[in-house]
Amino acid sequence: MPITRRSFLINAAGVACAPAILSATDKSGTKNPILGQGEYRYEAIHDWGELPRTIKYGNTHGVCEDSQGHIYIHHIVGANSDSQDTMVVFDQNGKFVRSWGRQFKGGAHGLTVRKEGSEEFLYLCDYEHGIVTKRTLKGEEVFTIGYPAESEAYKSKDSSSTVAYRPTNVAISPNGDIYIGDGYGSSFINQYNHKAEFIRSFGGLGKGEDQLDCPHGLWVDTRGDAPVLVVADRGNGRLHRFTLEGKHVDFILGTTQMPCYFHERNGDVVIPDLLSKVVVLDRQNHVVASLGEGEYSKDDWSTVRNQAPGTFMPGRFVCPHGACFDHEGNIFVVEWVEAGRVTKLRRLAG
């Protein structure tokens, strides 16, 4: 089906996915909340992973799984942490494997894993240091992309200042092109080839068809006949679709309020929404699950984001920031809270 330029509205209000919280009993006898309905029911296992005593999370921003079932957590490091490592790796049972990445302290953010040939690589964003870096699974550098000085969009009219650049996430197309969202900077998307050579910039701050306001997360959607770049246009509260050349396609509205990121598995897409919920879309971009109560607003953040680990309300999210499916269809959620929070949503049989 050819790509159209027609904007469309997806109304999620009538979808039978109202939040529901039940409970299940874990091995220790503790009852864990059950979220969702029908085929999309999950046991919420909060504070997942056996974190070493030397590591204290800061804001947990990114999460992904490699082909061996290892779970990677990207965080900015807690103020009382002995270790300064920003990348923490667990096996699929939550056992600590290793940590690395002290150089990204304070800015560790977006995290994407990609298989290239027989190897896997991690693409990391560090908004504080203004870089995107490609790394092996153990942290060895392949290349690093810094300030997009080649782009006309970043040529300041005032020679004494620079255009803000604080990258938040990346997406990678089938041909290896890298799309970097300048979510906390100037709201452009910067496109590079697989060799990290600059191609173009598009977007920029605004509400129009070619504009963005905090392109926080990105994803190349290959489910249709032609791949499209989908952007979590967080400040505008919409999903914004572009061609791979940066031309506006359409908007997906009504699914999320503050979308942060995407991860796709078997046609379903999980989207963490900073306003305290996690949404799952199907192939038609209809909401099939809305997980968590979605009860907190920005006005609540100064209080609820600063709670101590283990004191958050079970079965509710505060500020979901990153999420991914694992190979079994479970969902891992990391939250933008000061002490960090990692939740495993274990998928239950329908």
The two structure tokens encoding residue 262 = 């995407």
Topology at the third CATH level for domain 8-347: Neuraminidase (2.120.10)
Cβ distance 114 to 121 under 8 Å? yes
Which regions of 227-296 does DSSP assign to beta strands (E)? Answer: 228-233, 238-242, 248-253, 263-265, 268-273, 277-281, 287-291
The two structure tokens encoding residue 189 = 């998307």
CA 239 to CA 280: how far, in whole Å?
13
pLDDT single digits (tens) 218-260: 999 999 999 999 999 999 999 999 999 999 999 999 999 999 9
Cβ-count burial of 184 within 10 angstroms (0-12 exposed, 13-18 middle, 19+ buried)? buried
**Phi–psi pair at 215, nearest 5 degrees:** -75, 85
Q: Please state, in angstroms and as integers, the Cα–Cα distance from residue 80 to each residue in 55, 57, 101, 306, 310, following that order.
A: 9, 9, 17, 14, 16
CA 280 to CA 216: how far, in whole Å?
18
What length is written for the chain? Answer: 350
CA 153 to CA 44: how far, in whole Å?
43
**pLDDT score of 194:** 96
Question: Per-residue pLDDT for the chain (350 aa), expressed as one digit of tens each?
Answer: 344 433 433 333 334 444 455 555 554 445 899 999 999 999 999 999 999 999 999 999 999 999 999 999 999 999 999 999 999 999 999 999 999 999 999 999 999 999 999 999 999 999 999 999 999 999 999 999 999 999 999 998 887 789 999 999 999 999 999 999 999 999 999 999 999 999 999 999 999 999 999 999 999 999 999 999 999 999 999 999 999 999 999 999 999 999 999 999 999 999 999 999 999 999 999 999 999 988 888 999 989 999 988 889 999 999 999 999 999 999 999 999 999 999 999 999 86
Query: Would you list the domain boundaries of the chain?
Result: 8-347
DSSP lists the bridge partners of residue 179 as: 171, 191
Cβ distance 129 to 147 under 8 Å? no
Instruction: Give 311's contacts (C-beta < 8 A, 6+ positions apart).
Output: none
pTM for this one?
0.91
**pLDDT score of 208:** 97
Q: Which helix (H) or strand (E) holds 303?
A: helix 301-304
Write the single-letter amino acid at 83.
S
The two structure tokens encoding residue 191 = 């496109």
**pLDDT score of 23:** 56
**pLDDT score of 111:** 98
Cβ-count burial of 334 within 10 angstroms (0-12 exposed, 13-18 middle, 19+ buried)? buried
**pLDDT score of 15:** 40
Which residue in 247, 231, 114, 112 sits closest to 183, CA to CA? 231
Report the chain's C-alpha Rg in angstroms.
19
**pLDDT score of 14:** 38
